Amino acid sequence: MRALEGKSVILTGAGGGIGRPTALMLAAAGARVAISDIHEANLAETLAQVKQAGGEAIAVCADVTREDDIRELVRATVAAFGGLDVLVNNCGNSFAKDRDILSMEADLWDATMALNARAPMLCCKHGIPELLKRGGGAIVNITSGAALSGQLGIPAYSAAKAAVISLTRSVATLYGAQGIRCNAIAPGLILHDRLAAVFPTEQIRIDAENILSPRPGTPADIANAVIFLASDAASFVNAHVMPVDGGLLAHTPTYAQTRALGSAGPNISKDKER
Ligand SMILES: NC(=O)c1ccc[n+]([C@@H]2O[C@H](COP(=O)([O-])OP(=O)(O)OC[C@H]3O[C@@H](n4cnc5c(N)ncnc54)[C@H](O)[C@@H]3O)[C@@H](O)[C@H]2O)c1
C-alpha cells in the first residue's frame, strides 16, 4: 500500500527546485496531485514529468499572493478529484534586496510577508473547509531553518517563515479536534540546480562544516518528510516543526571549530579517576 494512495493533494510552488521532485514523489506515493505555480512553463514541465511517470495530476497556474487565484486552485482541485485531503504549502522565496534592517524597504517587507506568510494562511483559509468536509486532513507548511535562528541577512524572509511556524500551531490548535493535523518542515540548505547556480561556494563549504550528516540536503529529503507528515503514519503528529537540516541547528555553536581541532570536545571533569 502506498502512503498516500488515492489522496487528493494540493502542492504550491510545484515548478521549483523542491516542488518538482516533491510533486513526483507525492504522485509515486499514490496521491492525486493538484500542482500549482506562478511560472507557467515550469509548471507544465512538472505536469509532464508526473504524467510521464504514470502519476495522476492537474496543473493550476496561480499567484499565491492573490486570494482569487487560491480560491480557484482549491475549486479546481475539488472539481477534479472530488475533495481535498492534503494541502502542502511549499511556495516561498526570499528577495535579493532583503539584506538588513537599515536598508529595508517597507514594500519589500510587505511583499515578503505576502508571499511567505499570507499565502499559506490564505491557502489554509480556503483549503480547511474542504478538509473538514472529508472529516479532516493534513496540512504541511514549508518554513525554514532561517525562522529558528538569527541570520546575517534575509530578515524579512526569516520573520515571514517564523510567522509560518505560528500559523502552523494556530491551525493545529483551532482545527485539531476536527481532525486536521498541521505540521511544518524547516529545511536547511537544500541545494537543487537553481539554487546551486546562485549560492556562494564558500557559504556551501561553511554550511557543510556545520551540518552533522556528511552530505548536502536534497529535495528528496524534504519530499520524504512531506509524505510522512501528510500520511496516516503521522496520524498522532500535530503542530510539530520538523527540521530537515542534517542537524545544523542541533549542536553547540562552536561545533565546526572544535571538530577542526580533532577533539571530541573539552572534558572539564575534575574527577580524574572516572
Ligand atoms: N532550497 C532551500 O535551501 C530552502 C531552505 C529552506 C526553506 N526553503 C523553502 O522551501 C520552499 C521551496 O523552495 P525552493 O528552493 O524549491 O524554491 P524555488 O525558488 O526553487 O521554488 C519556488 C517556486 O515558487 C514559485 N513562486 C514564486 N512566487 C510565486 C507566487 N507569487 N505564486 C505562485 N508561485 C510562486 C516559483 O515560480 C518557484 O517555482 C520555499 O518555501 C522555501 O522558502 C528552501
Write the CATH number of the domain with boundaries 8-247. 3.40.50.720
Q: How many CA atoms lie within 13 A of 225 on its CB side?
A: 25
Q: Of 147, 210, 129, whose CA–CA distance to 184 is shortest?
A: 147
Q: Nearest residue CA, atom 42 of ligand 1?
A: 92
Q: Nearest residue CA, atom 39 of ligand 1?
A: 16
Q: What is the mean pLDDT of residues 11-34?
A: 98
Q: What is the mean pLDDT of residues 248-270?
A: 84
Catalogue the active-site residues: 157
Mutation to probe ligand 1, out of 37, 191, 221 (largest number of atoms < 8 A from CB): 37
pLDDT at 140 over 80: yes
pLDDT at 196 over 90: no
Q: Are 29 and 2 in contact (CB under 8 A)?
A: yes
**Residue 86 pLDDT level (bands cut at 50, 70, 90):** very high
**Residue 229 pLDDT level (bands cut at 50, 70, 90):** very high
Instruction: Give yes or no for residue 163 CB within 6 A of ligand 1.
Output: no
pLDDT on residue 264: 66
pLDDT on residue 64: 98
Q: What ranges do the domains of the chain cover?
A: 8-247
Helix (H, G, I), strand (E, B) or coil at 111: helix
Q: Give residue-wise pLDDT tens across range 27-66.
A: 999 999 999 999 999 999 999 999 999 999 999 999 999 9
Q: Are 244 and 219 in contact (CB under 8 A)?
A: no
Q: Nearest residue CA, atom 25 of ligand 1?
A: 13
